[in-house]
Amino acid sequence: MDKAYSINQEDWNYTDASEALQALADDDRMVEGTVYWESDVEVCPPERFLRAGCVLDQASDLIYNAVGECAEDAFVVSEEAVFELGEMLKAWARKHVTGNYWICIGEPRELRVTSADVAEYAP
């Protein structure tokens, strides 16, 4: 199972506990007992949110607003065409959209900075 870490229980920016500990050290929060969190996560690639149907719906609305009813069926295409557009959008996202995103699964677990962490990460 993939895990992510947070130093504020809102932003899950770290894929390793050592990254979260370094962030605490960088924020001058590397004190024994300081809480940070670990959560099981599901990787959530940005391409999941690019949907061909939504793109076509928006294009339909835009052309309808520009030219009226004569464009009512402008973007009505076959299922194969919708699938093809979806695959192109996914490929584009994999090539151009960066970032790591996760969906937290279950309850986050509190972790605490130890004296060994302080010795390793404190400036």
Question: What's the mean pLDDT in 52-67?
Answer: 96
Report the b/e string of 17-37 with b at 16+ CB within 10 A.
Answer: eeebbbbbbeeeebeeebebb
Work out the pLDDT band at 123, boundaries 50, 70, 90: low
What domain count does the chain have? 2
Q: How far apart are CA 110 and CA 39, in angstroms?
A: 9
Q: What pLDDT score does 77 carry?
A: 96
Q: Both 40 and 52 in a single domain?
A: no
Q: Do 108 and 93 belong together in one domain?
A: no
Average pLDDT over residues 76-91: 97
Residue 108 CA to residue 43 CA, distance in Å, equals 16
Token pair belonging to 109: 């677990």
**Can you give the residue range of the structural domain that contains 120?**
1-44+101-123
- 121 within 8 A of 29, measured Cβ to Cβ: no
How much is the pLDDT for 58?
A: 96
Q: In terms of domains, do 79 and 58 share one?
A: yes
Indicate whether 75 and 94 sit together in one domain.
Answer: yes
Same domain, 107 and 92: no
* 19 shares a domain with 52: no
Q: Which of 6, 35, 38 is nearest to 23 (CA)?
A: 6
In this structure, the answer to whether residues 59 and 87 fall within a common structural domain is yes
Q: pLDDT tens digit string along 6-48? A: 999 999 989 999 999 999 999 999 999 999 999 999 988 999 9
Taking Cα atoms as reference points, which of 7, 4, 17 lies closest to residue 106? 4
Phi/psi of residue 60, nearest 5 degrees: -60, -45
Whether 65 and 25 map to the same domain: the answer is no
Asked if 91 and 118 sit in the same domain, the reply is no
The model's confidence at residue 72, banded by pLDDT at 50, 70 and 90, is: confident
pTM: 0.67
- Range name among 1-5, 66-70, 118-122 with the lowest pLDDT average: 118-122
**Is the domain of 37 the same as that of 19?**
yes
Angle between helix 52-67 and helix 79-96 axes, rounded to 10 deg: 110
Q: Are 97 and 60 in contact (CB under 8 A)?
A: no
Task: Kindly state the tokens that stand for 93.
Answer: 């996202």
Same domain as 26, residue 3:
yes
86 with 106, same domain: the answer is no
The pLDDT tens digits of the residues spanning 107-117 come to 999 999 999 99
